[in-house]
Chain A
Amino acid sequence: MSIAAKFEIEYLQYLDAEGKQVRDDLPAFAQDLDQMVELYKLMLSTRVFDAKSIALQRTGKLGTYASCLGHEAAHVGIGSAMKPEDVLAPSYREYGAQLYRGVQPREVYMYWGGDERGNDYQNEPARHDFAWSVPIATQCLHAAGSALAFKIRGEKRVAVCTIGDGGSSKGDFYGAINIAGAQNLPMVAVIVNNQWAISVPRKIQSGAPTLAQKGIAAGLYCIQVDGNDIIAVRKAMEDALERARNGEGGSVIEAVTYRLGDHTTADDARRYRGEQEVKDAWAKDPMIRLKNWLVAKKMWDDKKEEAWKAECDDWMDNEVNAYLETKTQPVTAMFDYTFAEIPADLEKQRDLALSLENKAH
């Protein structure tokens, strides 16, 4: 019998759960230990930020919030590998990547705190990234469209979308990787497989042994990495970005991680998953292995950790204050961005809203 096609999916890991190096061929960025310390610091600040967000929600100062606990290596790995001119199309919990690209914690708080201005990222390069995308997987096609724009204009830029294991079931994801393959678009899709789509486990999403292999059908490069190992995530990203930038094709990266928290603050994961599973997952916490590795290399210690945490706390307090001091937008804001120029008919409704407001005061 002849074989029409054959494939295998490589699995990439540099650091095991304890922080022991399992390969000798460290990529160049990982040989720069000062840079690795910077990445660890960003992972830690992401975790401090996340805890602060949950605390804000629990005290009634934030609406529903989607935590990123456990995704720090995956998200910082993605964000730190990208160039400023690239474009990120995230779902709604990729703060580690976004903080790296200039999104401010106060903007995250504003968005989940019920203010559209949170989506109006002020700092480059985040300013030219997409905003959070709640409708699952729809952002994948925005990345494909962005990549097509880069190709049409001959720009050496790459569009990156991130998506969950659940999101990889949706047609928008398949459509995006399909056109990326068909048109050789500079696009990288990262499936951040955290094992749970709210209450539905990974095995119910797909019968495929890896989610990475979905890209094979689209003609893309595919790899599965340990999503709790930032070296593996970033290495896979760097390779994928370089190929895409050089017109050598798009990629699907599956970063295998674990959602250590609830889906959102409105969710209670104890309803559908066992304590032991979560306990086992904590043993693979992305922070532990990188810390152990850096400590062994004498680049980090508990004193530095405490000092940096304190700095992060100050930063977050400052951001929280800025958020809490932000005045609610005027009622007219809901009208003013519906069209570039407000149509006459809508202006009448705007006037009505304004008069109701004035009457209330």
Chain B
Amino acid sequence: MAQITLIEAVTQALAYEMAHDESVVVLGEDVGVNGGVFRATQGLQEKFGELRVLDTPLDETTIAGVTVGLAAQGMKPIAEAQFEGFIYPMMEQIACHAARLRNRTRGRITVPAVFRAPWGGGIRAPEHHSEANEHLFTNIPGLRVVLPSSPARAYGLLLAAIRDPDPVMFFEPKRIYRQYKEEVPDDGEALPLDVCFVLRDGTDVTLVTWGAQVKETLEAADALAAEGISAEVIDVATLTPLDFDTIAESVAKTGRCVIVHEAPKTAGFGAEIAARLAEECMFDLLAPVERVTGFDTHIPLFRLEMKYLPSTERVVEAAKRTLAAS
């Protein structure tokens, strides 16, 4: 069986679902003959034709609004925002319509759509190509916000997102698009959208993260293990609706929690998890919750971007601080 990267897993999931469900269509800028600027839609137009893999005019608002219209007519559109930093013009259509139509029509009109976007920094890209803004969507009711962090999870979660009867934001961590390969059987098996994934069991501290930071967080767990510290690593994967139980169970066991994310700290999604821990797990905690995040600045242009993104060392130090506290 072929070993594939995260982005190849995205392509594999798109191709699988398009072959098995003719209501699935892909639309966006350069998704057609060019196969997407990252090649996520490579070969799809050849297989499924120009209408089901549609190069749109260069207007994100159009992509998002047309996606709502397609979905309302029973199609399952998958819209691509070329970069997360270009998603802002889509927000009115996503917040006011995609996420809201089921509710405001009492279920008469629904929007089973996926909005995909290459997400996050760390690839030496130009300005506006490195944003992590998932927290802008986690506060919108009616949306699912999903970030895969491995080829297998990209495949399974994207299939689930396409099949979900409600709109899903699917943010792909482009820094790890080609980080490594793994075997991903093309069996059409979806993964659940309502659970966190425990990637590594541990007993001393819980490291909670998502997206590309899973890489640094797992590295930090290795480094901590070398010093005799046992870290549990949780990939949240679906931020909203949140499976808080998995996090709470882990923290009940370890008593310590470090939340790692790339987006700015203030009102980032880590703040929600920290607040929930304070509300529901205060008496399990042996140390203050730590957050290792991007700074409350714009992500710098690429000469400085690696100093902005949370490093393995920062995660290790934060974990050690929680251990020193008690």
A interface residues with partner B (beta carbon < 8 Å): 87, 89, 116-117, 119-121, 127, 130-131, 133-135, 138, 140-152, 159, 171-172, 175-176, 178-179, 182-183, 333-334, 337-340, 343-346
Contact = CB atoms under 8 A, between A and B. Distances in A.
Nearest to A119: B105
A145 B64 CA distance: 9
A129 to B, nearest CB: 9
Interface stretch (B37-45, B52-60, B302-310): B52-60
Contact of A343 (B59, B102, B105, B194): B194
Interface residues on B, range: 35 or more
Contacts of A121: 108
Nearest to B144: A339
Contact of B141 (A130, A152, A338): A338
Nearest to B74: A149
Contacts, number: 140
Nearest to A136: B92
B65 A87 contact: no
29 contacts: A87-B73, A116-B104, A119-B105, A120-B107, A130-B72, A131-B109, A135-B97, A140-B65, A141-B64, A141-B65, A141-B66, A141-B69, A143-B69, A144-B62, A145-B72, A146-B70, A148-B70, A149-B73, A149-B74, A172-B61, A172-B62, A175-B57, A175-B65, A178-B57, A179-B56, A338-B102, A340-B102, A344-B194, A344-B241
A337 B96 contact: no
B164 to A, nearest CB: 8
Contacts of A344: 194, 241, 243, 245
Given A142-B65, A145-B67, A152 B75 contact: yes
Contacts of A144: 62, 65-66, 69
B73 A146 contact: yes
B33 to A, nearest CB: 16
B159 to A, nearest CB: 17
Nearest to B244: A345
Contacts of A117: 106
B142 A339 contact: yes
Contacts of A333: 106
A172 B67 CA distance: 13
Nearest to A345: B241
B194 A149 contact: no
A140 B66 CA distance: 9
B230 interface: no
A243 to B, nearest CB: 20
B134 interface: no
Nearest to B95: A135
B70 to A, nearest CB: 4
Given A142-B97, A171-B59, A339-B142, A345 B242 contact: yes
A337 B107 contact: yes
B166 interface: yes
B236 to A, nearest CB: 13
A88 to B, nearest CB: 12
B70 A339 contact: no
A124 to B, nearest CB: 12
B69 A149 contact: yes
Nearest to A342: B241
Given A172-B61, A339-B166, 16 more contacts: A116-B104, A131-B108, A141-B66, A144-B66, A145-B65, A145-B67, A148-B54, A149-B74, A151-B51, A152-B25, A152-B51, A152-B75, A176-B62, A340-B166, A343-B241, A346-B241
B70 A141 contact: no
Contacts of B106: 116-117, 119-120, 333, 337
B103 interface: yes
A175 B102 contact: no
Listed from nearest, the 8 A-B pairs whose CB atoms lie closest are A145-B69, A141-B65, A343-B241, A175-B62, A149-B73, A145-B66, A142-B69, A340-B165
